[in-house]
Structure 1
Amino acid sequence: MEFSPVITRIAVLACLAAAAGCANSSPGTATATPSATPSSTVPGAPVTPAQQALSLESLYEDVIHQVLPSIVQITTGNALGSGIVFDNQGHVVTNAHVVGDSRDFEVTVPTGGAARKATLVGSFPAGDLAVIKVTDPRGLTPAVFGDSTKLRVGQIVLAMGNPLGFSGTVTSGIVSALGRTVIGPREGGMPGATIANAVQTSAPINPGNSGGALVDLHGQVIGIPTLGANNPEQGPADGIGFAIPSATATDITRQIVQNGRVLNTRRAALGVQVGTAIGRDGEPMGVQVGAVTRNGPSEKAGIRTGDVITSVNGKATEDTATLSEVLATLKPGQKVPVVVRHSDGTQTTVQVTLGELPGGS
């Protein structure tokens, strides 16, 4: 089943706190189906509610026993976050906002023992993903990554991580929605990471869960918890969290492991540097072009420095955040109409063949 991307126009809060940050040797290729306690020992006998409950409870226990050893705690400075062991070489995938600007980390495994040293392999801030490598990978248990494109709304999922520093914490919920597009908090006046095709879940995601695992009842990682919904007036919204889908996470992680950086982001770009344009009433009125990539998509379409982009593919782009949201739903190579207001007050619509967003370092 395919799901059309849905723009989620809510404020989101990255799972950060004072002490937070919010695969088998061939990740994504293995399968694992934990055994469940039979619901009835008598063939043909009716299944009672008590037997059903015990069967589900046993399944939960099996999944937790299987996956939790793959979820590590990452310490950077005074902050804590979570990560997932990706392979037998010691690579750990996490969120870019967990690693921040750090290059050296300490990793603690759920099975105990002294913290292990780790270093940054590469980061992709635009998609909020990063990979670190543990210096001593002995005894690490790679997780099994599932196919997030096959998820269904209503599936039971478990979120595993280290919220508020409580290592090895597990919460449960369901897949609430698919195909969301959400944006992390602004940093330095710039929009945060854009998560396309995010998995929305009711499993509680708290500060420190970032970089951990969203797991199905087959014991497969189908997402990386990254954001929790936040109402600016009322605070965090319980039961509304978002995870990077495993299809995206494994693709980006493999590129970083193999190349040290992302070579193919699969994300659309206009080839411009922009900032939010403010009208005379003090309200956002579009995104102003500060620089244009030479021979890039926008320059070829006639967009120039100083122009204000007010719409892309029929959707208003009142600020840099909404522009990021719109571009996250499009593909490189796609030709789209872009409405541009020029410095002389005139307005034109140009056709832009979208380029590809550059990868991180």
Structure 2
Amino acid sequence: MRIAVPAESDPTEPRVGATPDTIRKFIALGASVAVQSGAGTKAGIRDRDFEAAGATLEPDAAGTLLDADIVLKVRRPDGADLANIKRNAIVVGIMDPYGQDEALRIMAEAGVTGFSMELMPRITRAQVMDVLSSQANLAGYRSVIDAAEQYGRALPMMMTAAGTVPAARIFIMGVGVAGLQAIATARRLGAIVTATDVRPATKEQVESLGAKFVAVEDDEFKQAETSGGYAKEMSEGYKQKQAALVAAHIAKQDIVITTALIPGRPAPRLVTSAMVQSMRPGSVILDLAVERGGNCELSRPGEVVDHDGVKIVGYLNVPGRLAATASSLYARNLYAFVETLIDKTSKTVAVNWDDDLVKATCLTRDGAIVHPNFQPKAA
């Protein structure tokens, strides 16, 4: 049983799919592990660290992927990767499958068995495999650090002989994993924090972290959560009422951090250009949803936009801005899932196709797209 850890083909992706710690665990399960030279460099892991853990170093992707039974990736494999992966090999990673029909077709035709880690069901057994939570947690933390850097002022209230520095006001929009961590981080840094979300269950979470909850709490709000714990799409009427409340609130804020996402849909537009215009010069908006179209009307992927003195930050791959920590958590997520695909007695790959985790995450198998949510649309 051979496991491969190639370097990411995207030069902007600093994370890696395994660490020395998880490699030792895979070897204990009976696997041999091949790592491409330099795969962990951007995450602070040296080649000799992988070798010390028992991995074999390969100079290029072709050698790393040769005859691999399992491939550990961060991002979906591209054509160059697929050309080197044998048919029926298992590829595990963040596949970003929504709206990627052509990429999924190419992956299926390559004959690989692809597992999309972000489709992992939110059940107790799968918590340790939840890449969305592990990476969003770091994104929430980093968003506050990045916003504070762009803000250019102190966050906590300071009493000095020269006068008092007022505490910064930070507003978090979207209280999922990233939003909760952003609240906690902003509070630790001494800011006055408020937050909003359409899911009623988040009010108690926000208040437990010492922040104030801001929302239109009507009957629709009380039913605005799916059974899986995600936000529902709200009616136009509710959106208008919430937008009016938020607009008045945003005008008083120093930093706004937006985190709202709906699985499989473009990011909801929460901050309009008029709202940005109402903010004081020197204020900052950091849009964590920029890769899905953005929560702010003026955000641009990979850019910091200055709109009349207000900075709109659209950094990409925010978890990757903490590459070492992000790789450590992501690698543990992958190990927790992949070890369920291995027979501990025979020390071979043995996928239980009836396992709920397998059925929920398997995208491609035997030359076809098998996940029901991503079937090719009829012509």
Structure with higher helix content: 2
Q: Is this a same-fold pair by TM over 0.5?
A: no
Relative to its length, the structure with more strand (as a share) is: 1
Q: TM (normalized to structure 1)?
A: 0.25
